[in-house]
Structure 1
Amino acid sequence: MSGSGDIALIAGQGVLPGLIARAAPGLLVCEMEGTPSEIGTPETLRFRVERLVPFLDTLADRGIKQVVFAGALQRPRVDMELIDPRSAQLVPRLAMAMQGGDDATLRAVIEIFEDWDFQVVGAHEIAPDLVCAPGVICGAPSDRDRADMARAAAIVADLGRADIGQGAVVAGGLCLAVETLPGTDAMLDFVHLHKGLRDDLKAASGVFYKAPKPGQDRRADLPVIGVRTVQKAAAAGLSGIAFEAGGVMLLERDAVIAAAQDAGLFLWACAP
């Protein structure tokens, strides 16, 4: 691993970029215009996708050796009039990748950075405490919960192969919702609004399971679980949250565990 001064953080939205910045003080924070992070400073290097090549050249000139992507990045609206000639040569490559879905787009972006001799590393490599070893972290999943987890894991694997999403909710063996483009919060809100789909309304039931997509490049878009995820799962009346050990990051782990314990939810890092 390079020294922090050799690392550039491509910071998106959410709390993850701040956690990475604290884990590696002195790294160079970079933001894409239109997607500001929560850690921007006067020293933050801002760039436009239309001028991607000059941005890459700037990173090289500053002695950057490694690049880490962290946080949600919205697909930018490209202003064709702002594209410089060298960046224009990358447009067909990126456009083709975007037609293949999020995974293909991320792979193409990583390959471009690698073409400039940057080593792209995962956020969990900079801050390894964000991922968990296998085991139940808090609470106690029942046999029914374990069966629902297994069913949800199979569904998530199929979703991932189709590049659709990284999560699903299963209760009593029935799939109540899957994660699609609107994201995890929208999925859990849907389950909350449709509690009547479950047989037993008097007891919490159902498991939310989250995992990376099969074959996903884990250096970008690794799934995350935060306090808001726990709150949404509790509001949806679920028994707990299960996720792939080593493949999902817990943001602000102590706060997430405390929130789960307060809500009576289990947290379970499942062996892949």
Structure 2
Amino acid sequence: MTRIAIIAGLGALAPAIAARLDDPAIFALEGFAPEGLPATPFRLERLVPFMDELHAQGIGRVIFAGAIRRPRLDPEAFDTRTAQLVPRILTAMQSGDDAALRVVLDIFEENDLSICSVSEIAPDLIPGEGVLTGQPSDADRRDVARAAQILAQTGPLDLGQGVVVAQGLCLALETLPGTQAMLDFAALHGDLRPNPTGARGVLYKAPKPGQDRRIDLPTLGPDSVDQAAAAGLAGIAWAAGGVILLQRDEMLRRAQAAGLFLWAAAS
């Protein structure tokens, strides 16, 4: 079996994946290495030589794990072969994150590097359907259904993978600033709920329709619970089988302490 390389990004996912593999090779795009996980840096401007190095180390499979924001590219740093990919990469980046990721996957596969998914390496991180803690009310369940409907419509536009819905109304939608910014916004505008004593609202996450699930699945962790609690929400729900949970025991502990439900809802 060929060795697996982790292309590590920010956050706790890459360390969680590394803990489940024997002798993984760990690399990180320069400036995006996860804290506490030693990783060899590489630059996007030298992507083709980097893939050559993977083959030289006997690596045939790659898993992407962690958050990476769009790097600034230095035109003078490109090698000749990678420079030939620039128009393709830039065109995809202008089309949105999902299009850019698809092109990256295609380039790796065209260079005989197969892509592993989190579900293949660590299926325990992606829970199936069920309520993990707490109990969503009927009103919460309606809000979750409404949230899923919203993301089904915005997903093809390559927007974010999260939304906050309260009493049937969209309080916030995830965009480039990310989940915390969305929840901070929802916290600021919680008074827009029509009924002050009604349903407090939910955070809902799901992959985009048609998304390649080998990369960039939505992720939730203990910080998500803290942020949802700070926003005054009743709980967190997500598409069962399509969202990564990190540090699940700590998530449960914090959710129980804050009185939030956690629910992997049928998608």
Over aligned residues, Cα RMSD in angstroms? Answer: 1.3
1:157, 1:213 within 8 Å by CA — same for their partners in 2? Answer: yes
Count of residue correspondences: 267
Aligned residue number for residue 117 of structure 2: 122
Q: 1:117 to 1:39 in 2, by over 3 A?
A: farther
1:218 is paired with a residue whose SS is: coil
2:88 is paired with a residue whose SS is: helix
1:17, 1:39 within 8 Å by CA — same for their partners in 2? Answer: no
2:59 is paired with a residue whose SS is: coil
Q: Is 1:93 the equivalent of 2:101?
A: no
Correspondence for 1:145 among 118, 134, 140: 140
Which segments of 5 or more consecutive residues in structure 2 lack a partner in the other structure? none
Aligned residue number for residue 175 of structure 2: 180
Q: 2:132, 2:34 → 1: CA distance?
A: 30
Offset from partner CA, 1:50-95 (integer Å, 9 cap, x none): 1111000000111111100011112111111111101111111101
Offset from partner CA, 1:225-252 (integer Å, 9 cap, x none): 0111111111111111110011001001
State the percentage of identical aligned residues. 57
Q: 1:34, 1:135 → 2: CA distance?
A: 38
Q: Is 1:33 the equivalent of 2:30?
A: yes
Q: 2:60, 2:221 → 1: CA distance?
A: 30
Offset from partner CA, 1:234-271 (integer Å, 9 cap, x none): 11111111100110010011111111111100011011
1:269 is paired with a residue whose SS is: strand
Offset from partner CA, 1:14-69 (integer Å, 9 cap, x none): 1111100101131000011121222442xx32211111110000001111111000
Shift of 1:198: 1.7
Q: 2:133, 2:232 → 1: CA distance?
A: 17
AA partner of residue 11 (structure 1): A
Q: Is 1:171 the equivalent of 2:141?
A: no
AA partner of residue 19 (structure 2): R
AA partner of residue 85 (structure 2): L
Correspondence for 2:78 among 83, 92, 96: 83
AA partner of residue 233 (structure 2): L
Q: Is 1:227 the equivalent of 2:228?
A: no
Aligned residue number for residue 72 of structure 1: 67
Aligned residue number for residue 60 of structure 1: 55
Offset from partner CA, 1:125-145 (integer Å, 9 cap, x none): 211110111011110111101
1:168 is paired with a residue whose SS is: strand
Q: 2:198, 2:155 → 1: CA distance?
A: 30
Q: 2:134, 2:204 → 1: CA distance?
A: 15
2:167, 2:199 within 8 Å by CA — same for their partners in 1? Answer: no
Offset from partner CA, 1:182-222 (integer Å, 9 cap, x none): 11100111111112112444576101110000000011110
2:227 is paired with a residue whose SS is: helix
Q: TM-score, normalised by structure 2?
A: 0.97
AA partner of residue 94 (structure 1): I
Correspondence for 1:12 among 9, 12, 15: 9
AA partner of residue 107 (structure 1): R
